[in-house]
């Protein structure tokens, strides 16, 4: 069997529905935004709050997720190179789903931070520490690697004897293992296709919704209106991020049997680029600590440029 896979022709139809150059520039914007956030975090690490470890991981996952998906996507659309080797397909599948999983887990960790901050304010600095955040993010990375690696390893046992056309614009897990359905036992893969969304999407959503139910109950116990408004403002950014990440992707998973292929591809492509683009704008740039860090960094660079001509003379 030739280890070559070709993408479905439907993706060429999707190319006419939105400009690929716009998608490319959006990706560059995502990378530029998050590299600045990562630079500010590293510059201001010693004075940063422990919760920004999760913000740093979210930015890192956004950057890596975009760079894992876009190069082959551009190669497919710009140069019409629809062939991809079997090993490259598995590697692409691993990294795309790894960073997608980490985006979900980081949003869950940030909801835990908000839960402790509002429901247990007196114990917040005891529960949300550098050590606890490193442990949470480290455990999330380890579990994400295990989960995605298990799904990929189950695909390596399959034999492909008929069509080698993937019904997606990238090496997606479901369309890939379904190619082997006529000639291999795909029951373990089907189990993983139901188990992974539950672990990566639905369980985190249940935790986030439960957290905000507790937060809402705690808000009613706050007597001063200004304190209540301040507490609500700290949650709005996270809620917006949760909505723009989970709603489109859950819509695709839940309505997969009835929505057209092109609609599914467009929805997934927007899900892969819009949340990473909006994350820094909504969450980070509305945070006072990062605003101050950005001002200090820009002032420092401006001072260095002003002093440089004097030093050269």
pLDDT per position as a tens digit, 47-91: 567 888 888 888 888 888 877 877 777 676 666 677 778 888 888
Among residues 112, 106, 103, the alpha carbon closest in space to that of 207 is found at: 112
pLDDT band, very low/low/confident/very high, at 98 (cuts 50, 70, 90): very high
Residue 57, pLDDT score: 87
Residue 285, pLDDT score: 61
0.85 cut: is pTM over it?
no
**Would the pLDDT of 217 be above 70?**
yes
Looking at the chain, the whole-number percentage of residues with pLDDT higher than 70 is 69
**Would the pLDDT of 113 be above 80?**
yes
pLDDT band, very low/low/confident/very high, at 282 (cuts 50, 70, 90): confident
Pick from 37-46, 99-108, 196-205, 217-226: least confident: 37-46
Residue 152, pLDDT score: 93
Residue 14, pLDDT score: 33
Structural domains present in the chain: 4-287 (1.20.1070.10)
Q: What is the mean pLDDT of residues 88-97?
A: 89
**Would the pLDDT of 290 be above 80?**
no
């Amino acid at each position: 069997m030739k280890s070559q896979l070709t993408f479905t022709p439907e993706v060429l139809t999707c190319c006419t529905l939105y400009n690929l150059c716009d998608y490319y520039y959006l990706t560059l914007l995502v990378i530029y935004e998050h590299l600045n956030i990562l630079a500010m975090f590293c510059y201001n690490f010693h004075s940063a709050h422990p919760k920004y470890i999760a913000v740093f991981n979210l930015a890192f996952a956004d950057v890596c997720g975009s760079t894992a998906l876009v190069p082959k996507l551009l190669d497919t659309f710009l140069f019409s190179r629809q062939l991809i080797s079997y090993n490259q397909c598995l590697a692409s599948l691993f990294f795309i789903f790894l960073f997608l999983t980490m985006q979900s887990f980081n949003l869950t960790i940030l909801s835990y931070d908000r839960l402790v901050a509002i429901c247990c304010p007196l114990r917040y600095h005891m529960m949300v520490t550098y050590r606890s955040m490193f442990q949470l993010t480290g455990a999330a990375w380890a579990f994400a690697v295990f989960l995605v690696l298990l799904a990929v390893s189950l695909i390596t046992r399959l034999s492909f004897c008929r069509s080698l056309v993937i019904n997606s614009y990238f090496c997606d897990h479901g369309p890939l293992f379904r190619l082997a359905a006529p000639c291999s036992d795909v029951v373990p893969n089907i189990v993983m296709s139901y188990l992974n969304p539950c672990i990566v999407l639905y369980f985190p959503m249940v935790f986030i919704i439960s957290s905000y139910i507790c937060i809402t109950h705690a808000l009613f116990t706050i007597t001063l209106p200004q304190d209540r408004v301040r507490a609500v403002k700290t949650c709005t950014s996270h809620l917006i991020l949760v909505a723009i990440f989970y709603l489109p992707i859950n819509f695709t998973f839940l309505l997969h049997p009835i929505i057209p292929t092109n609609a599914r591809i467009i929805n997934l492509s927007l899900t892969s680029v819009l949340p990473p683009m909006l994350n820094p704008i909504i969450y980070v740039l509305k945070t006072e600590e990062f605003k101050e860090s950005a001002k200090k960094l820009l002032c420092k660079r401006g001072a260095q440029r002003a002093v440089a001509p004097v030093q050269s003379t």
